[in-house]
Amino acid sequence: MIAVDTNIIIRLAMRDDEMQYQKVVALLKEQTFYISRTVQLETEWVLRSRYKRSTKEIADFFALMLKKKQIICENEQALLNALYCYRLGADFADALHLTNTQNLDFYTFDERFCKKAIAEGFVSQVIICN
């Protein structure tokens, strides 16, 4: 297993540099990729800000990665839960922060923090500090 940087995952997602894409595909045939939380976070940011991908496209890409046996994401259940919140309109970073808290109460001043996920009862440990 090898840990990979965001640029490796972006090549896989975007195939915008054919030579680098082919290198990533070849490497993936030989190795299992480990994607840390920080790479997950940066990948979403790059896909959204630089490549202008929609929430659905980004969430679908992450979901596809999670189905690949040769790709392991750090704390996969937290990522799945974050993707659910993200699809409901939560900021991806906020969703990751929340779903990686190990069920501790999560305090914030952000009144918009994962609002729909909280309303649906998907997460309950968020306390808005007023």
User: What does the pLDDT look like over 56-102, one tens digit per residue?
Assistant: 999 999 999 999 999 999 999 999 999 999 999 999 999 999 999 87
Identity of the residue numbered 59 = A
- pLDDT of 66 reads 96
Residue 128 Rama label (left phi>0; alpha psi -120 to 50; beta):
beta
H helices of the chain, where? 6-14, 18-30, 37-49, 55-67, 76-87, 92-99, 115-119
Q: Note the pTM of the prediction, 2 decimals.
A: 0.91
pLDDT at 118 exceeding the cut of 90: no
Angle of helix 92-99 relative to helix 76-87, nearest 10 degrees, comes to 140
